[in-house]
Amino acid sequence: SELQRGWRLVIVRRGAADRKAEDTLGGHLTCKGLTKHGRRQVEALANRLERTGEMKGSVAIYSSVLARAVETAEILAPVLGNLPVQQTCDLCERHVGEADGMTWTEYEARYGALKPGDAPEREMAPGGESWIGFLDRAEAALYAVMARHPGELVVIAGHGGIVGTSMVRFLELPGHGSHLRGHPDNSSI
């Protein structure tokens, strides 16, 4: 994709999610949003952004459709000029299919351990995404957002997987990023 110079895409990882979502595969059916602590994390970031003005001039804020990302975006929106939150499933975390709501222990007992980059063509569970499918979807979503806002500052309230995808694909990491084991902090930029 041909992109104009000067654009800035800022990805904010959502705040701490509902404890159940943290201990389970919290997908479309079971995501319960942010915890009180998660809301405080995002409020602290919003206060910082208001104080520093570092996101002044943002023209859009996007989020996935998962409650934890939507809440993050809604908390940030007032300090970004009350921009409307544009939601798209294309910015969701990796789709987990039938594993939605399972604990990680239950998941591994049923489907085996699966880290990003391992068996990159294998779906997480029936109805879920493969690692490559997720990378392709998320990369296309990021490029689509940038193409809609040439040369402008855009904020995405998203997930660790979206941060990882940006690194794997924009930096062209080998092996589909199979050696990347980063874990961005909640409410980090």
pTM for the model? 0.90
Look at residues 185, 188, 153, 150 and name the one whose alpha carbon lies nearest to residue 54: 153
| AA letter at 8 | R
The pLDDT tens digits along the chain (189 residues) read 455 566 788 999 999 898 666 688 888 888 889 999 999 999 999 999 999 999 999 999 999 999 999 999 999 999 999 999 999 999 999 999 999 999 989 999 999 887 666 788 999 899 999 989 999 999 999 999 999 998 899 999 999 888 888 888 887 776 777 666 667 888 888
CA-based torsion, 162, 163, 164, 168: positive or negative: positive
Query: Which contiguous run of DSSP H or E holds residue 63?
Result: strand 58-63
**What are φ and ψ of residue 12, in 5° steps?**
-105, 120
- Cross-strand bridge partners of residue 24: 103
Provide the pLDDT for residue 89: 96
Q: Is residue 107 within 8 Å of 136, Cβ to Cβ?
A: no
Provide the pLDDT for residue 142: 94
